[in-house]
Amino acid sequence: MGRRSDHSRDEIRQMALQAAESIVTEGGYKSLSARKVANEIGYTVGTLYLVFDNLDDLVLQVNGRTLDLMVKWLEQRVDIRDRGAETLCRLASSYIDFAEQHLSRWNMLFEYVTDKGNVLPDWYEEKVSRVFRIIEYALPVANNPVDQASDEQVARVLWASVHGICTLRIRQRLDLAGGQTTKQMTHTLIENFLRGRQAT
Amino acid sequence: MGRRSDHSRDEIRQMALQAAESIVTEGGYKSLSARKVANEIGYTVGTLYLVFDNLDDLVLQVNGRTLDLMVKWLEQRVDIRDRGAETLCRLASSYIDFAEQHLSRWNMLFEYVTDKGNVLPDWYEEKVSRVFRIIEYALPVANNPVDQASDEQVARVLWASVHGICTLRIRQRLDLAGGQTTKQMTHTLIENFLRGRQAT
DNA sequence: TCGGACTATTGAACAATGTTCAATAAAATG
DNA sequence: CATTTTATTGAACATTGTTCAATAGTCCGA
């Protein structure tokens, strides 16, 4: 078969991304393959390589969309005009809910490691920092910041920590923790951390 | 060629593990392949499958040895009889040093996800918790633990957090953090967290 | 010492992977 | 209607994990 022009290049891209997402959602990262995606959208492998540089490129774009979805998810669950410990806890909760709800796609966000030493394109980094900005905003201003860390820095410390709890929990590296839930753990973390930050 | 008996089954296993480690160290997780390992030790793929169930099994065993190495590394750098914030900071530092020094092997510890829903064998879980136990011990007893979390639980919260910082840093998801080093970040985390735990 | 039994090791085979690219068939153009 | 253009194909290649009949050494009893 030759030229068809059933879909524009961009339509094909969108279809492929959507197909990839459902494949990952159903069977996890490892079940993703070029031929599977191609099949699903009624094209062949060759076409996929007209639209994406390679599979890594496709994965990165899916990950970008996952980040977008995550921002939406958080904004839907937490009023981003709120601040304080309670808000942070709710954000953490929502983050963990997202990870559990979209397990495979969340996993792919971190399983995926580029061959080129983890250097990611700017448009992707931008999406990452959009997530961080939500946390930053919710972080209450400390009365007495003993250490020199700025709010931006503290936001990232705190969020990296929440992420760490989330990761180890989901990868089941924490089930000796005496039966505490991930939410309890993030609560412990945030409460103590903020209290310590206020106090001298 | 038929039977050779140059090496015992266990010798072959050890050789394979060592070969795998150096392949991963040099080229990262993705560069590991059965044939490469086999070649390196002067055997063929078939032999590898007499000694390991499959590649996942081999990876898991390498990871086990990486955990052993990590425990040794930590014990060499920190007197495990010490406690308190300073000790915890030093442990965190050492953990991050380990991750940086043995980047690929540390990476493999978390990139690797089993097909079977992340269920890991007992001997492996035991190695994981041996790491946690070091942290637990270093954790100072709080004067006034407001929350209900036990020391064991708190240790895991804290360590998951350190791990989160380490992960996001190494995966380069944090370089907008205003130039703070990973060690500064863990310091901020630990200091504030412990202060918050002591205070009411 | 010979010969048969045993078994450690092989390597060819299979299905599936990512990736490329000459061939081709349909649309576009004149 | 003929010609150019190009979107799409699918066969091809190298590489992957994994299996297993064939084989070539070792071992043991006669």
Mean of per-residue pLDDT scores for chain B: 87
Q: Are residues A190 and A98 in the same domain?
A: yes
Residue A199, chain B, CB below 8 Å: the answer is: yes
Q: Are residues A79 and A144 in the same domain?
A: yes
Task: Check if the beta carbon of residue B48 is closer than 8 Å to that of residue B37.
Answer: yes
Say whether pLDDT at B109 is over 80.
yes
User: Confidence class of residue B142 from pLDDT cuts 50, 70 and 90?
Assistant: low
Facing B154 at nearest CB: one of A115, A152, A188: A188
Say whether pLDDT at A177 is over 70.
no
Q: For chain A, what is the domain count?
A: 2
Which bases in strand C are touched by protein, i.e. have an atom under 7 Å from a CB?
6-13, 16-28
Q: Are residues B70 and B38 in the same domain?
A: no
Q: How far does CA A149 lie from the centroid of its chain? A: 25
Angle between helices B182-198 and B151-170 (to 10 degrees): 160
**pLDDT score for B111:** 80
Q: Are residues B105 and B165 in the same domain?
A: yes
Task: Check if the beta carbon of residue B183 is closer than 8 Å to that of residue A157.
Answer: no
Q: Which residue range forms the structural domain that includes residue A24?
A: 1-52
Q: Are residues A105 and A133 in the same domain?
A: yes
| pLDDT tens per residue across span A97-111 | 999 999 999 999 988
Residue A141, chain B, CB below 8 Å: the answer is: no
Q: Are residues B84 and B158 in the same domain?
A: yes
Say whether pLDDT at A146 is over 70.
no
| pLDDT tens per residue across span B111-134 | 876 666 667 899 998 998 898 888
Say whether pLDDT at B79 is over 70.
yes
DSSP assignment of B33-82? -HHHHHHHTT--HHHHHHHSSSHHHHHHHHHHHHHHHHHHHHHHHS-TT-
Mean of per-residue pLDDT scores for chain A: 87
| pLDDT tens per residue across span A84-98 | 899 999 999 999 999
| pLDDT tens per residue across span B150-162 | 777 788 889 889 9
| pLDDT tens per residue across span A22-66 | 999 999 989 999 999 999 999 999 999 999 999 999 999 999 999
Q: Which residues of A touch B171 (CB under 8 A)?
A: 110, 113, 118
Q: How far is B161 from chain A (nearest CA, A)?
A: 4
**pLDDT score for B147:** 57
Q: Are residues B134 and B65 in the same domain?
A: yes
Q: Are residues B33 and B65 in the same domain?
A: no
List C-alpha distances in Å: B10 to A106, A127, B16, B21, B65.
39, 49, 10, 17, 15
Task: Check if the beta carbon of residue B13 is closer than 8 Å to that of residue B54.
Answer: no
Q: Which one of B161, B175, B184 would you mutate to disrupt binding with A, by most A Cβ within 10 Å of its Cβ?
A: B161
**CATH number of the CATH domain containing A137:** 1.10.357.10
Say whether pLDDT at A6 is over 70.
yes
**pLDDT score for A152:** 76
Contact check, Cβ <8 Å, B188/A147: yes
**pLDDT score for B141:** 66
Q: Are residues A74 and A2 in the same domain?
A: no
Task: Check if the beta carbon of residue A183 is closer than 8 Å to that of residue A162.
Answer: no
**pLDDT score for B66:** 98
Q: Are residues B28 and B66 in the same domain?
A: no
**CATH number of the CATH domain containing B5:** 1.10.10.60
Can you tell me the mean pLDDT for A123-131? 89
**pLDDT score for A60:** 96
**pLDDT score for A4:** 76
Nearest partner of B151 among B165, B135, B131, B163, judged by Cα: B135
Q: Are residues A132 and A35 in the same domain?
A: no
Task: Check if the beta carbon of residue B75 is closer than 8 Å to that of residue B131.
Answer: no
Q: Which of A156 and A28 is assigned the larger pLDDT?
A: A28
Q: Are residues B85 and B114 in the same domain?
A: yes
Distance B45 CA to C8 C1' (A): 13
**pLDDT score for A21:** 98
Can you tell me the mean pLDDT for A164-171? 82
